[in-house]
């Protein structure tokens, strides 16, 4: 299982790195989570430079892709070279999720279709301009595509990836590990409550939202 977290210059550390940490709580052979970027290194909105472990081309072949957010997402959405590569993303064979402004990239790539989505408050009008209904909730998914809104919704998105790939108990375990001491049961319950409605088969999810 290869999960790529798309990470660009100006990225939000909370969105990319929290997901990286939660997803890496799964410990089994073949499970790999990598930051994927257009260059060897990228620098965050707060000056943190990280080394990419995968390319955007690698991400297009991954089993799952999480599109991170940042302060330059609108620039990326207008970058023909980057978007040309990302048009190879395919929800029929990949789990695809977006965090905050990453939702704008999914909208521009046509991966949301007419499905509503979640995003952060700053990005909301841009996603709406792209013709997508924005929900006032932290997480939503339909079929193989999920979106999350707000930095601290990142664990929900990570837990959805884990639950879809490894099962609900693995997702609970990952959330339990990162949860604050003394609040672990409540934290896990809240996280699973947010993603549980979206763990059915695509056919069941379609029936629910019809």
Residue 203 pLDDT exceeds 90: no
Percent of the chain with pLDDT over 90: 95
Residue 110 pLDDT exceeds 60: yes
As for how many domains the chain has, the answer is: 1
pLDDT at 206: 39
Give mean pLDDT, residues 82-99: 98
- Residue 35 sits at φ, ψ, to 5 deg, of -75, 125
The residue count of the chain comes to: 210
In degrees, to the nearest 5, what angle opens at C-alpha 96 toward C-alphas 36 and 63?
65
Helix (H/G/I), strand (E/B), else coil: 20: helix
pLDDT at 181: 98
State which residues form the domain around 202.
2-209
Angstrom distances, CA of residue 130 to CA of 44, 61, 67, 117? 26, 26, 17, 12
Domain CATH number, residue 16: 3.40.50.880
Residue 209 pLDDT exceeds 50: no
Residue 199 pLDDT exceeds 50: yes
pLDDT at 71: 97
Instruction: Tell me the pLDDT tens digit for each residue of 130-146.
Output: 999 999 999 999 999 99
pLDDT at 200: 66
Instruction: Tell me the pLDDT tens digit for each residue of 15-62.
Output: 999 999 999 999 999 999 999 999 999 999 999 999 999 999 999 999
Q: 27 Cβ partners below 8 Å, 6+ apart?
A: none
Q: What stretches of 87-153 show up as alpha helix (H) in DSSP?
A: 102-108, 124-129
For the chain, what is the mean pLDDT? Answer: 94
Q: Which residues pair with 99 in a beta bridge?
A: 148
Instruction: Tell me the pLDDT tens digit for each residue of 147-165.
Output: 999 999 999 999 999 999 9
pLDDT at 207: 39
Give mean pLDDT, residues 51-77: 97
The strand order across the sheet containing 95-99 reads 54-55, 32-37, 2-6, 64-67, 95-99, 145-148, 139-142
Structural tokens at position 46: 């707060």
pLDDT at 149: 98
Give mean pLDDT, residues 100-129: 97
Determine whether 50 is exposed, middle or buried from the number of CB atoms within 10 Å of its CB (0-12, 13-18, 19+): middle
pLDDT at 174: 98
């Amino acid at each position: 299982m290869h999960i790529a977290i798309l990470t660009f210059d100006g990225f939000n550390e909370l969105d990319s790195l929290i997901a990286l940490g939660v997803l890496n709580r799964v410990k089994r052979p073949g499970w790999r989570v990598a930051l994927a970027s257009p260059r060897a290194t990228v620098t965050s909105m707060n000056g943190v430079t990280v080394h990419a472990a995968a390319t955007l081309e690698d991400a297009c072949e991954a089993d799952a892709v999480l599109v991170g957010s940042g302060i330059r997402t609108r620039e990326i959405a207008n970058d023909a070279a980057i978007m040309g590569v990302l048009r190879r993303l395919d929800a029929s064979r990949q789990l695809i999720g977006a965090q905050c402004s990453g939702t704008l990239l999914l909208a521009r790539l046509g991966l949301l279709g007419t499905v509503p989505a979640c995003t952060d408050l700053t990005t909301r009008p841009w996603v709406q301009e792209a013709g997508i209904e924005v929900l006032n909730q932290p997480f939503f998914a339909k079929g193989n595509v999920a979106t999350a809104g707000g930095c601290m919704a990142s664990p929900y998105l990570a837990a959805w990836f884990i639950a879809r790939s490894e099962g609900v108990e693995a997702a609970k375990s990952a959330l339990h590990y990162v949860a604050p001491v003394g609040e672990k049961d409540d934290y896990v319950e809240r996280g699973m409550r947010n993603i549980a409605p979206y763990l059915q088969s695509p056919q069941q999810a379609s029936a629910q939202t019809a």
